[in-house]
Structure 1
Amino acid sequence: MTIQADEARPQAADVTVVPLSATMGGERQGLAERITLGLFIALPFAALVAAVPVAWGWGLSWLDLALATAMYFLTCHGITIGYHRYFTHGSFKPNRGLKAALAIAGSMAVEGPLVRWVADHRKHHRFSDKEGDPHSPWRYGESVPALLKGLWWAHMGWLFDEEQTSQVKYAPDLVNDPVIRRISRLFWLWTTLSLALPPLVGGLVTLSWHGALTAFFWGSLVRVALLHHVTWSINSICHAVGERPFKSRDRSGNVWWLAVLSCGESWHNLHHADPTSARHGVLRGQVDSSARLIRWFELAGWARDVRWPSTQRIAARRAG
């Protein structure tokens, strides 16, 4: 199947490939990694479920809320601007410092090593909602039971699939970049930093273990769980429901109520109609904080060659 120019970064034919892996453990996901992955999903989610009764008790303060909010949007934009719009689709060209910062901020979202994430997403675009898509909700068919099963698969079930996307095939440019390869392999370090920062700040500000504990609960566990499920909702919900004002080869839709928490990613129909666009929310009233930050990076001289969609380009992709 031929990949369109707007849908992915260079494939193996365009880049000299060396037999390296940017993920510790190589291309295949082992039992220990699957167990670890399960814990990272289950424990933060359990914390999120427990959040409401805890909030009415003794464990929530303005400091906890501020830390959770700041860490959420820092790491969310690391995913949306870094992992997605830059590393996967090349929507702009950052300077060296911004490139490394985006790689680390995205890694702190605890959604997996950078190169593996990019490889999975490029494969998703190649086969979007067709056989070969790693996480299509239409995997099992279109009946209600099949769709419910597919939504579970697209949301988080696919993460446990032993069949891993080839990083050499789908992300050779990143595998061959020594700095990015090293950042990707140090995923464990950025995960530790991400989880440790809130309790460190909370403990120092309050000078108490209690402050460190509540900051860890809200700023680490609850924040990670919420961001995970918002991100996974782009794979599941945004490929099952939503408005489709633009022409695309799949069932990607715009889901407005996820726009703020997803930092603009839930304007998903335009993204699949024009994958390299730096802005996803292109219509009036569509909030896209990731595009706003990219614009600020451009004004500061930190980013160049930004692929802003022109009026003509948007009109050409309108459905009907």
Structure 2
Amino acid sequence: MDDVACQLFSENNPTDGPRKKVIDSPYLNKFQRIHFILFDVAPAIGAVATVVVSLTYKVTSLDLVLFAVMWLFSGLGISVGYHRLFTHRTFQASPTVRALLGIFGSMAGQGGVISWTAMHRRHHECGDQEGDLHSPNLSGPGWKGWIKGFVHAHFTWMYAHSYPNVSHYAPDLLKDRVIVWVNRRYYTWIVLGLLIPTVIGGLYSQTWMGALTGFLWGGAMRMFVVEQGIFSLNSLCHLIGKRRFKTHDQSTNIAWLSPFIFGESWHHNHHAFPGSASFGLAWYRIDPGYWFICLLSVLGQAWDIKIPTREQIQRRELPKAQASTRP
């Protein structure tokens, strides 16, 4: 969809006029609705089907291994690749690692890497203000507004939304041959991510049921679980949790979520220091995404890892009396 969007931007931006940051296009909205049904609604239906099948057929150790491995790969692809590397450039990596992280992130079904980057950079620019595509804090006061905002931020915003100009928000990725190559094959990587566990399950068990449960656990359920974790950053991590820094948005930290979403739920820390590869900002905070970057560094596949100094962190901290917990 990035190629289509770039064409629309060029058609709507005369060379002598200002560049648009976003475009509202019924044509793009059609693609967004299709994507929403295929890769947001369908995985939820698949997760329900997985539970139903599991009540009839025994869940095997292979099913769980396929789920865990595919969850790990696609989750790290989003957290380390899409988010920390491509969007915020918090470290540098070899072309091979960049390609693999882009491919694994694509398998999560959350959009092509260039689109995802553009949308997330706009989220940081607008942070809980008009123009933030998935803020939960723009739906009115009280519990009614809270619930409406949660549903919007966690799920329904993806149905149709303004499309950020990728040439404005992600010009660096448009110049990266590796990422452009990965991005153009986005749907191929999604299909591959569903096909791999299906084939492994079928070959290992030598049954069609093994192929089905491999697809359900390693494909549908895995995609659903990864999505709920990342979507919680848009919803929960802007509604409940703790704040320790002064930021222009309403982001929060939710410590207990961090083991399940690769350290991403140190979301307020991240908004305070978006250029930091470490979201936990301390060795004792669980941040698997950062640990993986450190492993890549040991293997010589990552370098120039950016982390704020203790003094920089202390300068941004609110006085204890002003630190808060939401709601």
Asked if TM exceeds 0.5, the reply is yes
Partner of 1:5: none
Partner of 2:105: 106
Q: Distance in 2 between matches of 1:24 and 1:109?
A: 21
Q: Distance in 2 between matches of 1:93 and 1:197?
A: 29
SS of the residue 1:243 aligns to: strand
Partner of 1:257: 256
- Give the counterpart of 2:2 among 5, 22, 30: 22
SS of the residue 2:140 aligns to: coil
Q: Distance in 1 between matches of 2:213 and 2:312?
A: 48
The answer to whether residue 138 in structure 2 is matched with residue 117 in structure 1 is no
Q: Are the equivalent residues in 2 in contact too, given 1:22–1:175 (CA < 8 A)?
A: no
Deviations 1:182-208 (A, max 9, x none): 211210100110111101111111122
- Deviation at residue 113 of structure 1 after TM alignment: 0.5
Deviations 1:19-77 (A, max 9, x none): xx734565652425412421321221122234444323205111000100110011000
Alignment of 1:25-64 (within 5 A): 26=6, 28=25, 29-64=28-63
CA 1:25/1:246 → structure 2, altered by over 3 Å: closer, same or farther?
closer
Deviations 1:228-271 (A, max 9, x none): 11111110000001011222221111112221121000011100
**Structure 2 counterpart of 1:266, which letter?**
S
Q: How much is the aligned-residue C-alpha RMSD, in angstroms?
A: 1.7
Q: Distance in 2 between matches of 1:197 and 1:155?
A: 28
SS of the residue 1:56 aligns to: helix
SS of the residue 1:271 aligns to: helix
Q: Are the equivalent residues in 2 in contact too, given 1:72–1:223 (CA < 8 A)?
A: yes
- Deviation at residue 313 of structure 1 after TM alignment: 2.3
How many residue pairs get matched?
A: 300
Deviations 1:117-143 (A, max 9, x none): 000000000010111111100122232
SS of the residue 1:201 aligns to: helix
* TM superposition score normalised by structure 2: 0.87
**Structure 2 counterpart of 1:259, which letter?**
S
Greater CA drift, 26-35 or 176-185: 26-35
Partner of 2:169: 170
Q: Distance in 1 between matches of 2:168 and 2:5?
A: 17
CA 1:264/1:193 → structure 2, altered by over 3 Å: closer, same or farther?
same
Q: Are the equivalent residues in 1 in contact too, given 2:229–2:260 (CA < 8 A)?
A: yes
Q: Are the equivalent residues in 2 in contact too, given 1:22–1:182 (CA < 8 A)?
A: no
The answer to whether residue 315 in structure 2 is matched with residue 299 in structure 1 is no
SS of the residue 2:164 aligns to: coil
SS of the residue 2:242 aligns to: coil
* TM superposition score normalised by structure 1: 0.89
Gaps of 5+ in 2: 9-24, 320-327
SS of the residue 2:56 aligns to: coil
Q: Distance in 2 between matches of 1:45 and 1:314?
A: 39
Gaps of 5+ in 1: 1-20
SS of the residue 2:227 aligns to: helix
Q: Distance in 1 between matches of 2:195 and 2:55?
A: 25
